[in-house]
Structure 1
C-alpha cells in the first residue's frame, strides 16, 4: 500500500509541475533581477537549448554550484580524453563562470532545466544523453523519473547525504525507494554517506572518498598575486572565506579585537555569495573599518583594515595571501563549507562547529592536526591571535592539513573505476564512429 502511495505522490508531483509550468516565468524574472540568473540565457532553464547537439556519444554532467563544478573537473577531463561529448549543467551564474574559465569550449555549458516535466522533457529530447552523472546531493524527482522512464543510466558521484536530508527521506522510505531505485550506481564520499544511500534503497553503492581532494590547485593570476603581495608586504593577515550572513560581521569584530595586538593586521573576507558584498561592505564600515574591494581595485594601503573579496573564481588568490583561514557557514549557518581547498593551499584551517555537510573531511583534518573548531566569535579571535603569535604552531597546522589532504587522495581513480561499465562502451563507440567518419573523409 505504501508503495502505491509513494508512486501516487510522485505522479501528483509530475502533473502539478506541468500545471505550474506556465506560471514559472515570474519566479525566473525575480531571480534575474536578483542577479541569480543569466538574463540572456534564462530560456535554458525551461529546457530550451542554446547549442546544437554534437554527433556521437554524449554524457550529461550536472554540478549544482561552484564546489560541485570544481569537484567534477577531473572526471570531466577523463571523459573528454575518451572522445566523449559533454553537456555540463550548473544552477548558478558563479558556477557557469567557473566552468567557462576552467573548461572553455571543450564542453557545452547549459543552465540546468527546472525540475518540471515540460522543461526536463524538452532538455532530454534535444540532448539525448547516453549517461547522466549528477554530483553530490542533487536529487531532483522529475529529472530522476524522466531519465528512468527513458532507461538512461544515471549515476550519483561524490554522493553526500546530510543529516537533515537523511532524516527527511527516512520518514518517507517508500517515496525514497521509488526514486533511488532509478539510480544505476551511487559513488559516495564516505562510509556514512554510502550506508545512508543503501538504507534509502540505492543499489549498488560504492565509496570513493571526496573528489575535491583530487582536483588541481585553484588557479591564480600571478601578476595579481604579486601585486597584492607587494602591497601587503609583511603585514599579518588572516582570512574568513565562504562566509554567510552574520559571519562577516563576526570577522570584522575579530579584526577590531586583534588590530591593537597585531599592528597592521589585514583581514581578508570572502563572502560565499559575491552579490551580498555591497551589504557586507556597509556593515563592515559601520564597525569603523576601512574596506578595499577587489572589483574596485582599491589600493590595499597601510590604513586598509579589510580586503573584501567580491569577485568570482579568485579563491586561489585570496587563500595564497594568508596562512590562516576561517571557513564559513559554520558559525551562523548550518552545514559548513568545504575545508579541503584551504588545506590544499597550506593554510591553518579554523571553523565553527556546524560542519555536518563536511563531517568526514573535518574529522580527518582535525585528527591530523590541520584544523580546529571554534565555538563563537570570541573563540575565533583567540584562535587567530594564537596562530599569529605562534609561527611554529601555525606552520605545523599548515603542514598537517596538507599531509591529510594528500592521504585522502585517490577518489578520482575509484570513481572512474566505478563508472567504467558505463563509460567504456561510449569510448568504444566514439572511436568507432570517429574512425568511420575519418574513412569517409
Structure 2
C-alpha cells in the first residue's frame, strides 16, 4: 500500500523530468511493465540505472555474452540517456534485449520478471529496489549486487528504514563489493556475511581502444592545436560551469591560446550551458555541429553521447565534475586510464576509496573553487614534467588494481552453476 500511495509523486516527478527532457515522455508504459518488447526468456538480467553504470557494466556484459553464448541478456535502465547508451554499446549484438526497468511496485516488478524470467539478476552498484528483489526471491531468482558501493551517507539513509532494508538485503544472493569498509556497511545493514565479498572496482578494468589517443592526436593536428594547452571539464553539474568558465578566463590571461572542452553531465543542460558560454563572451563550438575548432575558439562544448573517453583523450589535463558542488563526484579513473593528470573538487563522497588511492599516489589534486582550479591548471601547464608524473601515477594505480572483473565473473559463474 505504501508504494501505491507514492504513485502520484512518481507521476509528478516523471512529468517534471519530461518538461526538461522530452525523451521521458516516451515508452512510459514500460515504466509500469506495460507494452514491454517481446523478449527471449531464461537468460541473465542486468540493471544499470543510467549512463555511468551502463558504461561500467559493458565489459561485464560482453564477458557474459562470451561465457554464456546460448543465453539472452536483458539490460534495463531508468533514464533515456542510459537507454541510448545501452543501444549504442550493443547495437550489433542480437542477444542483448533492452527496456526500462518498471517502477518498484509489487505487481509491476512481478509482471516484468514473469515476462523476462531470468535465471539470474545482476544490479550494478547501489540500485536497491525492495519489491524487485523480493519478487526475485519469490521466484527463486538469485540477485547479485555487482561493483557494489555504499557511502556512509547512503548507509545512514538505509538504516533509517531498517525494517525494509534488512529483509531486502537478506534476500540477495551475493554482494560483490568494491572495498572492505563498504562491505562492512552492507553486513551492518543486514546482508548475510557469507554472501558479502570484496572484489574491488571493475572500473579499474576499463577497456581503452588502443587507437583512441592516436585518433585524438590526429584531430588536434587538424585543429592546429598540437601546441595549444587543452583541458577538459567533464560531467559538470549546475553551479559548476560558472566556476569552470571563470577558471578558463583566468587561464586565458596567461595562455591566450588555451582551449577548454566543457562537457555537461546531463544532455538537458547542453543548450543552457552553450548559452552561458556565449553570454560570457567565449567563442564556442558545439561538438555536435562537426565544425572545426579554429585557433579563435576558446570553448569546445561536448554535447555528443558516447564520446567522453575520446574527449578526455583530446585534453592535456582533466577536471572531473560533480565535485565542486556536493554531488559526490564522478569516475576519476577514466582520465587516469588515459594518462591524464586529474583535478577535482572536494566533494568526492561517492568515490572516497578511489580518490584516496589516486591522492596517495600523487595522481589527483583537489581544488576548492575557480581560483584554485585556475592556479592548478597554470602550474601544470608551466611544469609539464610534474603533469607527466601525475599522469604516470594515475596509470600505475589503474594497473595495480585490475582484476575485479575476473573476480566478479567467477562469483557469477558459481551462482549460474547452481541453476
Q: Which range, TM-score by smaller chain?
A: over 0.9
The 2-side partners of 1:169 and 1:333 are apart by 20
The two structures have a TM-score, normalised by structure 1, of 0.88
Aligned length: 411
Q: Deviations over 1:226-266 (max 9, x none)?
A: 33542133211111111111211111101111112112010
Provide closer, same or farther for how the CA distance between residues 112 and 234 of structure 1 changes in structure 2, counting only shifts above 3 A.
Answer: same
Q: In 2, distance between residues paired with 1:225 and 1:394?
A: 18
Give 1:220 shift.
5.5
Q: What corresponds to 2:275 in structure 1? A: 282
Query: Offset of 1:197 from its aligned partner?
Result: 0.4
Give, in angstroms, the shift of residue 225 of structure 1.
6.8
Contact 1:15 1:117 in 2 (8 A): no
Secondary structure of the residue aligned to 2:81 is helix
Matches within 5 A, 1:311-390: 311-390=304-383
* Ranges in structure 1 where 5+ consecutive residues have no aligned partner: 1-11, 427-441
Equivalent residue number for residue 48 of structure 1: 34
Matched, 1:35 2:17: no
1:139 aligns with one of 128, 132, 144: 128
Whole-Å Cα distance in 2 between the matches of residues 90 and 328 of structure 1? 23
Task: Tell me what 1:237 maps to.
Answer: 230
Instruction: Describe how 1:115-134 pairs up with structure 2 within 5 A.
Output: 115-134=104-123
Give the deviation of 1:360 after TM superposition.
0.8
Matches of 1:30 and 1:354 in 2, distance apart? 27
Higher alpha-carbon deviation: 215-224 or 308-317: 215-224
1:207 aligns with 2:194: no
The equivalent of 1:302 in structure 2 is: 295
Kept in 2, the 8 Å contact 1:240–1:325? The answer is: yes
How far apart are the structure 2 equivalents of 1:31 and 1:44? 16
Q: CA deviation at 1:278?
A: 1.1
Question: Hey, what's the Cα distance between the residues in 1 that align with 2:265 and 2:127?
Answer: 19
Q: How far has the Cα of 1:334 moved from its partner?
A: 2.3
Q: Which runs of 4+ in 1 moved over 6 A?
A: 221-225
Matches within 5 A, 1:210-289: 210-217=201-208, 226-231=218-223, 232-289=225-282
Post-superposition offset of 1:170: 2.5
Distance in 1 (CA, whole Å) between partners of 2:379 and 2:214 is 30
Who wins on radius of gyration, i.e. which is larger? 1
**Aligned counterparts of 2:412 and 2:39: Cα–Cα separation in 1:** 23
Bigger shift: 317-326 or 23-32? 23-32
1:185 partnered with 2:174: yes
Give me the whole-angstrom Cα distance separating, in 1, the residues matched to 2:371 and 2:378: 11
The question of whether the paired residues in 2 share the 8 Å contact of 1:135 and 1:156 is answered with: yes
> 2:52: which partner in 1?
67
- Aligned alpha-carbon RMSD (Å): 2.2
Does the 8 Å CA contact 1:337/1:358 hold for their aligned counterparts?
A: yes
Q: What secondary structure sits across from 2:319 in the alignment?
A: strand
What is the distance in 2 between the residues matched to 1:207 and 1:88? 24
- The answer on 1:97 being equivalent to 2:84 is yes
- The answer to whether the Cα contact below 8 Å between 1:63 and 1:69 also exists between their aligned partners in 2 is yes
- Report what 2:43 is aligned to: 58
Deviations 1:368-423 (A, max 9, x none): 11111112211111111100111100111111101111111010111112222222
Does the residue aligned with 1:298 lie in a helix, a strand or coil? coil
- Give TM-score, length-normalised by structure 2: 0.92
Partners of 2:255 and 2:11 in 1: CA distance: 52
How far apart are 1:138 and its partner, in Å? 0.2
Uncovered stretches (5+) of structure 2, i.e. residues with no partner? none
